[in-house]
């Protein structure tokens, strides 16, 4: 896996701090690993004898499973620690938990936490590599990387693309990481949501803001539709799922004014009939399942790079 | 593992749709794998680099563990997904979950679900192999296969055997799968239970029906005693476990009129003193623990065959 | 791994029944494995093709994870069974569960149980090796072994050392196993706690008893500070955590009268500001994280020895 630029970070905590070159290095490395995931024997020995710990303070099937598979396809040993059965119950702090995991000679700790910044705190306390699998409303870097990887695979480039992110921008770590990544690589990002779901000062991120779904769709090369989480109390501004679907649900009808090649992305799990119609989710414009497949290659790349970081920590 | 008949199904969903020859192919393949489970190093590389997902919508230790071990002994990577920590909580449908697992390049999805037919729906949505690990009251094909495998190992044949299935026939997927399998292979099956636990029209399955335990035992070469699940509301017809034990509990005393070589089977976990006495469960006629051991070989065979299916899907 | 004394037990149930020589054999074997845990590829094939089952009737992150890693570094296949998803819910007895696990051809069952003696009952019912990962208030042998291993690594010997165990002696399996192990190897043990937390007749274990923390610290080569479990009802004698910390919390101030080389141990997870100050826990006298690291080597040794036991069972 020879690359001109060497990876130097022990961790992957967020997209915000990455350079354009670092993002491209991850994407290129993922390209090499993508081929592995389609082989009959989907394994390489790159992380044999290394230990990867999934430390999840929030329940998650898809992200945990994707990381677990990525690690296993690199031949690492994987340990899953979920909050429910962990000593967190006994009141141990994140730092103590991290140090204990490190004392077990873990090489990588993949952490999902409901508090923004938790992976940063953890990374300062341990010599092991820390990979952020989602922290509060802050970042979900591997999701953004797999979204960008999928875009690039399908459309050949990121620079100059118009990408609209649609949905609950205010509470979305996926939106935040995508915005950082896409703008660094030269895409033009529009965010689209009802006013109550767009945080003030969004323009300072270098994105266009609109409340009009048709406008967000019209010129987009791709749209990234976020999951509407009605289980949160903050969306009480919307009386019902039906109401939201009428105004912001992505349907074939709404896509009539779109570019022919428009791609529809979604980080999953999808709410059919809430933020997206079944017809669109399962239709030819959708790359939702390709995102899932690409997630493995991207996470293999991240695990590979952080465990093979060269030189001192950045 | 050369066999005249080649396996052609991508899935194992139920016994009902299998031919006599297909069942025999599974049993013969299991025979080859049984030897592996007794080696000092209990592993073969048949599924190296393949991914097997245990997708369990109902809690289960024994079936999940048995499949997990079977897959690991074939050198597959195994991912466990339990409902409690899954995105099912977030309202994702079975089909979406299945497609997502498939997008992770899983080769086999082993599914247990409380709804009859769920594995069939899943199998139509994914290219991955689907193995039914129990669906509602419908089928539990690998349990029947391991029961039949055990019978054949101990008695040398299935054709012409008299097998009585005793207990809650109405709500038993184990009974249903056993009836299909045993009758296809030429055994004579009797079902025995109090009237309220035998569904109407049972005779159309080609089995004898009786409410008399002694009659069910008298001519049987083997009895398969089902777990009595008092946690279900439908057995309120029985005032107590004691009452059930008196009328239908299999004891040494009740077995006095049986054939000398009679085998006692049970899918587990057993309720000592409810459907079976401790003396019988732990006695020389019992093959209950051999069933557990054989379960691994049978599941290795199933995983091997569905991942090596030849030709188009049936 | 040539040793003069051969290991003969199929199980590791407690420290009480071990001879001095057996304890030393485990410590020496752990020494050999410790080197493995620091290699770049942290794996040896000693248990390849063997199956290790973690059977946990109490939640535990650190002990389960430590055993899981130890087994994986020996190349064993590991199956985790937690009570929450197990058929224990369906009322299966420990013995039936054990026999079923054995029928799955498991080589080692690691069991944690809230009832004292459970691993002994299990070991009599199965041919598989049983390792006690903590039973009630009775024993936690691998914790004591890793404590002793850590002491010996740091101080060069056990014989003649003065070790004080501080905290809830009455309800601590860690205390009990440490007392057996340390006294067998010739250390002088003092236990220190408020009167209500010391069981009557403690002196018969061959230990000194004191209620005075300063006295317990003064001559000690090492102190082992137990976790204070306020979630138990039996400590209502103490009005608050603050109160306990004032009287029995180990702080830098309390350590002023200690020997220069004093080691501070803790089985974790620590309660900062309850039984120990953060300053001490993170300070230069603390070997708490080394204990965690050593736990893997000690557990590798135990798993290796019980699966390579020679001659008949003791």
Q: What is the mean pLDDT of each successive set of 10 residues along chain B, which is 314 residues long?
A: 74 98 97 88 93 92 94 96 59 83 94 94 94 96 98 98 97 97 98 94 95 97 91 58 91 96 96 94 97 97 95 46
Residues of A in contact with C290 (CB under 8 A): 103
Nearest CB to C51 within list B42, B269, B290? B42
Nearest CA in chain A to B104: A293
| Interatomic CA distance for residues C107 and A77, integer angstroms | 20
| Interatomic CA distance for residues A111 and A118, integer angstroms | 8
Distance from CA of A208 to the nearest CA of C (A): 46
Evaluate if residue A299 carries a pLDDT over 80: yes
At CA A81, angle to CA A78 and CA A85, rounded to 5?
145
Q: Which of B285, B182, B291 is nearest to B227 (CA)?
A: B291
Indicate the range of A32-46, A129-143, A171-185, C215-229 predicted with least confidence: A32-46
Strands A188-192 and A208-210: parallel
In angstroms, what is the C-alpha Rg of chain B? 19
Eight-state DSSP code of residue B227: P
Beta-strand ranges (E) seen in B85-158 are: 108-113, 129-135
- Residues 24-53 on C with a CB inside 8 Å of A are 37-43
The pLDDT tens digits of the residues spanning A90-137 come to 556 788 889 999 999 999 999 999 999 999 999 998 999 999 999 999
Distance from CA of B18 to the nearest CA of A (A): 28
Q: What is the reported pLDDT for C311?
A: 60
| Interatomic CA distance for residues B149 and B182, integer angstroms | 11
| Interatomic CA distance for residues B79 and C225, integer angstroms | 38
**Phi, psi (degrees; rounded to nearest 5) at B6:** -95, 145
At CA C265, angle to CA C261 and CA C269, rounded to 5?
155
The pLDDT tens digits of the residues spanning C175-200 come to 999 999 999 999 999 999 999 999 99
Residues of A in contact with B81 (CB under 8 A): 61, 65
| Interatomic CA distance for residues B153 and C202, integer angstroms | 57
Contact B151, B208 (CB under 8 A): no
Q: For chain A, say whether B102 makes contact (Cβ under 8 Å).
A: yes
The pLDDT tens digits of the residues spanning C262-307 come to 999 999 999 999 999 999 999 999 999 999 999 999 999 999 999 9
* Structural domain boundaries in chain C: 20-139+294-307, 141-292
The pLDDT tens digits of the residues spanning C98-117 come to 999 999 999 999 999 999 99
In angstroms, what is the C-alpha Rg of chain C? 19
A81/C84 Cβ within 8 A: no
Q: What is the reported pLDDT for C85?
A: 42
Q: What is the reported pLDDT for B248?
A: 96
| Interatomic CA distance for residues B56 and B112, integer angstroms | 5
Evaluate if residue A296 carries a pLDDT over 90: yes
Q: What is the reported pLDDT for A93?
A: 78
CA dihedral sign, ordered A158, A162, A165, A169: positive
Q: What is the reported pLDDT for A165?
A: 98
Question: What is the secondary structure of C192-205 as a DSSP string?
Answer: E--GGGS-TTGGGG
Beta bridge partners of B55: B81, B111
Half-sphere exposure of C188 (CA within 13 A, CB side): 9
Q: Average pLDDT over chain A, rounded to whole?
A: 91
Instruction: Kindly give the residue spans of alpha helices, DSSP state H, lying in chain C.
Output: 20-37, 62-73, 94-103, 118-125, 141-155, 173-184, 213-218, 241-248, 278-281, 288-307
Residues of B in contact with A289 (CB under 8 A): 99-100, 102-103
CA A298 to chain CA mean position, Å = 10
Q: What is the reported pLDDT for B44?
A: 94
Q: What is the reported pLDDT for C86?
A: 46
Buried b (16+ CB within 10 A) or exposed e, C222-261: bbbbbbbbbeeeebeebeebeebbeebbbbeebbeebeee
Q: Which helix (H) or strand (E) holds A163?
A: strand A162-166
Q: Which helix (H) or strand (E) holds B122?
A: helix B118-125
Indicate the range of A40-44, A191-195, C229-233 predicted with least confidence: C229-233
Of residues A233 and C33, more confidence is placed in C33
Q: What is the reported pLDDT for A312?
A: 45
The band of C16, judged by pLDDT with boundaries at 50, 70 and 90, is: very high
A73/B79 Cβ within 8 A: no
**Phi, psi (degrees; rounded to nearest 5) at A85:** -110, 15
Residues of B in contact with A291 (CB under 8 A): 103
Residue C40, classed as helix, strand or coil, is: coil
* Mean pLDDT of the region C44-62: 93
Tell me whether the CATH fold assigned to B20-139+294-307 matches the one assigned to B141-292: yes
| Interatomic CA distance for residues C275 and C228, integer angstroms | 6
Beta-strand ranges (E) seen in chain B are: 51-56, 77-82, 108-113, 129-135, 162-166, 188-192, 208-210, 222-225, 263-265
Q: What is the reported pLDDT for A86?
A: 47
| Interatomic CA distance for residues A128 and A103, integer angstroms | 10
Evaluate if residue A314 carries a pLDDT over 50: no
In angstroms, what is the C-alpha Rg of chain A? 19
CA C271 to chain CA mean position, Å = 18
Q: What is the reported pLDDT for A41?
A: 86
Contact C28, C302 (CB under 8 A): no
* Mean pLDDT of the region A59-65: 90
CA B59 to chain CA mean position, Å = 16
| Interatomic CA distance for residues B241 and B223, integer angstroms | 20
Q: What is the reported pLDDT for C310?
A: 81
Q: Which residues contact A216 (CB under 8 A, 6 or more apart)?
A: A164, A166, A190, A192, A210, A223
The CATH number of the domain covering residues in B20-139+294-307: 3.40.50.1370
Q: For chain C, say whether A104 makes contact (Cβ under 8 Å).
A: yes
The pLDDT tens digits of the residues spanning A227-277 come to 987 665 555 555 678 889 999 999 999 999 999 999 999 999 999 999 999
CA A269 to chain CA mean position, Å = 13
Distance from CA of C129 to the nearest CA of B (A): 15
| Interatomic CA distance for residues B121 and B95, integer angstroms | 7
Residues of C in contact with B60 (CB under 8 A): 85, 87
| Interatomic CA distance for residues C37 and C92, integer angstroms | 38
The CATH number of the domain covering residues in B141-292: 3.40.50.1370
Q: What is the reported pLDDT for B37?
A: 80
**Phi, psi (degrees; rounded to nearest 5) at A276:** -155, 145
Q: Which residues contact A123 (CB under 8 A, 6 or more apart)?
A: A10, A11, A13, A130
Q: Which residues contact C240 (CB under 8 A, 6 or more apart)?
A: none
Topology adopted by domain A20-139+295-307: Rossmann fold (3.40.50)
Mark residue A183 as left, alpha or beta (left: phi above 0; alpha: psi -120 to 50; beta: remaining): alpha
């Amino acid at each position: 896996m020879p690359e001109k630029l060497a990876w130097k970070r022990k961790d992957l905590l967020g997209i915000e701090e990455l350079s354009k070159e670092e993002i491209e290095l991850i994407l290129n490395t993922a390209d090499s690993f993508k081929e592995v995931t389609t082989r009959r024997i989907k394994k390489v020995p790159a992380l044999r004898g290394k230990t990867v710990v999934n430390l999840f303070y929030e329940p998650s099937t898809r992200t945990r499973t994707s990381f677990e598979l990525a690690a296993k396809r690199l031949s690492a040993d994987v340990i899953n620690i979920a909050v429910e059965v962990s000593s967190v119950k006994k009141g141990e702090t994140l730092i103590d938990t991290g140090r204990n995991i490190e004392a077990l000679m873990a090489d990588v700790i993949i952490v999902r936490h409901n508090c923004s910044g938790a992976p940063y705190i953890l990374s300062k306390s341990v010599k092991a590599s820390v990979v952020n699998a989602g922290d509060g409303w802050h970042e979900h870097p591997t999701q953004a990387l797999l979204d960008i990887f999928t875009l690039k695979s399908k459309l050949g480039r990121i620079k100059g693309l118009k990408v609209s992110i649609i949905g609950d921008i205010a509470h979305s770590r996926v939106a935040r990481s995508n915005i950082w990544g896409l703008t660094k690589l030269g895409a033009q990002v529009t965010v689209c949501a009802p006013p109550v779901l767009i945080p003030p000062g969004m323009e300072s991120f270098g994105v266009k803001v609109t409340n009009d779904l048709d406008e967000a769709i019209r010129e987009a090369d791709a749209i990234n539709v976020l999951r509407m989480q009605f289980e949160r109390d903050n969306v009480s501004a919307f009386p019902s799922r039906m109401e939201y679907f009428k105004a912001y649900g992505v349907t074939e009808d709404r896509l009539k004014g779109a570019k022919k090649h428009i791609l529809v992305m979604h980080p999953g799990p999808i709410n059919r009939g809430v933020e997206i119609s079944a017809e669109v989710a399962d239709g030819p414009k959708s790359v939702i399942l390709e995102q899932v497949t690409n997630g493995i290659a991207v996470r293999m790349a991240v695990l590979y790079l952080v465990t093979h970081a060269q030189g001192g920590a950045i």
